[in-house]
Structure formats: C-alpha cells, structure tokens
Structure 1
C-alpha cells in the first residue's frame, strides 16, 4: 500500500475550457494501469470544449448542476449522485449551469483525448432535460 502525494490544484487551460475550471489529480495510474481520476470544479457557466475520449469517460456529479451534451443530443442537467457514461469516441462537453458552481469526479483511461472547438454560447444555452424528470 502507498499513500499518494497529491499535486497542487491546477487551473485548466483556456484552449480546452470556457470560463474558470480547476482540477485536482486524484489518481494517475502508471503502467500497466491506465486509470485517471480528477476532481474538477467549474465556476458558474464554465464548460469544456467539445472533446472525446478514446476509451470513454465516466462523470460522477458531486455538487451543483452539471450540463452535459453529446454532439447532436439534448443537454442533460445532471445532479449530485448522477453518474454519466460517455462511450469511446463520442464527442461531448460538460460544465456548470449558469447560476452555480459544479463539481464532478471524472474517470477515464489513458490520455487519449481529442480536443475540438469551444462550445458556443448558443449551444450552451440550448434546451435542457433534467435527470430528475427521467424515468
């Protein structure tokens, strides 16, 4: 067993994020592990650019309201305790609602991430469906 030293919180780069977001690297597996785990904090209205993960990504919403959209899909409002899976290669974005901070735990494997264009304000402001209203 080993207690891992945690690196300092990092502000996430403008080329991949709109608005202010910070990450704490909780775990970055070394070979043969491919596991990655980050706790990410988004200021109100902050969001990722469109992107995809080679082996998919899982988000666990910790606090606030998350907005998550797959390319061509509806914007989902996810709440604390919700778990959202994005399959390998699926283009998507995620971020905070415009009126509150949001924290999620992001889990994925490898650093195979394809970063694309920023989410426009019009895309971000699109109609939303809440996980609270789904069966």
Structure 2
C-alpha cells in the first residue's frame, strides 16, 4: 500500500479548453498499470476542445451538470453520479452547462507504448455549444 499526497491543482491550457477549467491529478499509473485519473472542474460555460483518446475515456460526474458531445451531433446532459464511456478514438468534447459548474473524474489509460493517449483538436464552436445547452 502507498498513500499518495494530494497534488496541486492546475489551470488547464487555453490551447485545449475554452473558459476556466482546473485539474487535480489523482494518479498516473506505473507499470504494469497505465491508468490515469484526475478530478476536472469546469466553471459555467467552460469546456474541452474536441479530442479523442487512443484507449478511450471514462467520465464520472461528481458534481453539477455538464454536456458531452460527439461528431454526429449527439449530446448527452450529464449529472452528478452518472458515468459516460467514450470509446477509443471517438472524437468528443465535454464541459459544464452554460449556467452550472460541473466536476468529473477523468479516467483513461496511456497507450501501451507510453505515448500521449489524447489527441487534441479544434475548439467547440460557440453556436454548437449554445445549441447543445438547449437540448
């Protein structure tokens, strides 16, 4: 057993997020584990850019109301206690609803070769985000 200290919270980079988003690392796997876990907090209206994960991603909402969208235009509204599974290589985005905070645990695996499991893409267009909030 190993007790890990609480790691500092960091503001996420503007190149990958719109609005104010904060990340607290929880765990970065060491062999044979490749799991990464983080608590991600989104302020109202904040969201990730479009992105995908080589081995997929699991999002477990811990607080608030958020949105997750995929390229076909589908959007799900997510609430505390709910979990969303994003399959490998599916381009998606996620963030807070326009008028609510949202926090989730982000769980993913590193690629077997140790490379970055996330491919970051373009920001979510404002009109697409506004439409998603109306659903």
Give the structure-1-normalised TM-score.
0.92
2: distance between equivalents of 1:99 and 1:85?
A: 24
Q: Which residues of structure 2 form unaligned runs of 5+?
A: 111-115
Corresponding residue number in structure 2 for 1:114: 119
Instruction: Give matches, 1:53-132, under 5 Å.
Output: 53-110=53-110, 111-127=116-132
8 A Cα contact 1:75 1:126, kept in partner:
no
Q: Which residues of structure 1 form unaligned runs of 5+?
A: 131-135
Per-residue displacement from partner, 1:61-118 (whole Å, max 9, x unpaired)?
1111110001113211111111100000000000000101110011000131000000
8 A Cα contact 1:19 1:46, kept in partner:
yes
Per-residue displacement from partner, 1:14-53 (whole Å, max 9, x unpaired)?
0000000001101111122100000000000000000000
Corresponding residue number in structure 2 for 1:42: 42
Give the structure-2-normalised TM-score.
0.92
User: 39-48 vs 23-32, which deviates more?
Assistant: 23-32
Q: Could you tell me how far 1:59 is from its partner in structure 2?
A: 0.4
Q: How much is the aligned-residue C-alpha RMSD, in angstroms?
A: 1.4
Aligned residue-pair number: 130
